[in-house]
Amino acid sequence: MLTRIVLLSALAAAAWAQPAATKQVEIYGQKIYYQEAGAGPDLILLHGLGGDATNWAATLPAVAAKFHVLVPDQIGFGRSDKPMIDYRVATLVDFLDAFCKKVGVAKATLVGNSLGGWVAMDFALAHPDKVNRLVLVDSAGYSPKRIGGAPLTRELLLALNPTTIAGEKQLMSLVFFNKAFASDQFAEQALTAHLRKNDGYTIDRFIDSILRGEDVVDGKLGAIKAPTLVVWGREDALVPLANGKALAEDIPGAQSVILDSCGHVPQAECAAPFNAALLKYLAE
């Protein structure tokens, strides 16, 4: 199951410790915005459903000291263009490939959260020669069958695209372990951000794609050759830990790190231990 992540300025208050430039490129006639910082090996951070580059506000400064970091607003999200198309993971994979060509990245380490992790896996399967390493953070991508879950319904998935304060509170209670993020005030800010970014249509089309069973990774992950780290919040109520354990089993040689008292967005809710685990892995 995916999540629409809304990480507001309260979570991004640290800002970019190392100056990050905001840039844009045109891909398939669409403007794609991205953050860029640092120098060294290429590293791309991929946000989840309803997210944008700010989801990685606490991560970018930590990795930019040693890496050339690119953080795009994926097509349909954030400040990037939002064409009215039938969005699916394969769409984001194609845009990521074109983005890498446009900015001159031949091979990169991909770090993806939720939907971003799904994109990273499918990209690694489609373009194995273009991936150095994978870091999958509470990643979506399996069908419910893989972990013995119940079939998904549209009613259930619509919780990922709330249009009321009550709906936002419900979603935030699933995204974050810290229930302070399910307060009325935070829900109001989250709904405001959601409406301002105007990504409701994108999310709804992704819901349709999920229900059609498109681009799932079931039975495919044995083909991943890139060294992989699986990072999971133990209390993730959206994509449960069972998914993370299955990923670690299915991807050859994958390592795993489980973060306690942490929900679906460890890079924000548990930034310090997440960054420590990420940097340790990247230094190996």
| Domain coverage including residue 30 | 21-154+198-283
Is 183 contained in some domain?
no
What integer pLDDT is reported at residue 217 of this predicted model? 98
Is 187 contained in some domain?
no
Tell me the helices (H) and strands (E) count for the chain, helix number first. 10, 8
Give the three-class secondary structure for 152.
Answer: coil
Dihedral angle, C-alpha 252, 142, 89, 99, nearest 10 °: -30
Helices marked H in 46-183:
60-64, 89-103, 115-126, 154-157, 165-175
Is 1 contained in some domain?
no
pTM here is 0.94
* Maximum alpha-carbon separation in the chain: 47
Is 162 contained in some domain?
no
Is 127 contained in some domain?
yes
Dihedral angle, C-alpha 55, 230, 87, 188, nearest 10 °: -30
- Residue 55 · residue 48 · CB < 8 Å: yes
- DSSP assignment letter at 2: -
Q: What is the DSSP string of 60-73?
A: HHHHHTTSEEEEE-
What integer pLDDT is reported at residue 9 of this predicted model? 35
Query: For strand 255-259 and strand 131-137, is the pairing parallel, antiparallel, or unpaired?
Result: unpaired
What integer pLDDT is reported at residue 3 of this predicted model? 41
Is 113 contained in some domain?
yes
Give the CATH number, domain containing residue 203: 3.40.50.1820
* CA gap 67, 73 in Å, rounded: 19
What integer pLDDT is reported at residue 20 of this predicted model? 87
State how many domains the chain has. 1
pLDDT in tens, the chain (284 residues): 344 444 443 344 344 445 689 999 999 999 999 999 999 999 999 999 999 999 999 999 999 999 999 999 999 999 999 999 999 999 999 999 999 999 999 999 999 999 999 999 999 999 999 999 999 999 999 999 999 988 999 999 999 999 999 999 999 999 999 988 889 999 999 999 999 999 999 999 999 999 999 999 999 999 999 999 999 999 999 999 999 999 999 999 999 999 999 999 999 999 999 999 999 999 98
Is 246 contained in some domain?
yes
Rounded to 5 degrees, φ, ψ at 129 are: -80, -5
What integer pLDDT is reported at residue 138 of this predicted model? 98
Nearest of 18, 53, 19, 43 to residue 100 by alpha carbon = 43
What integer pLDDT is reported at residue 182 of this predicted model? 87
Q: How many residues does the chain have?
A: 284
Residue with tokens 């990169």: 108
Is 115 contained in some domain?
yes
* CA gap 259, 98 in Å, rounded: 34
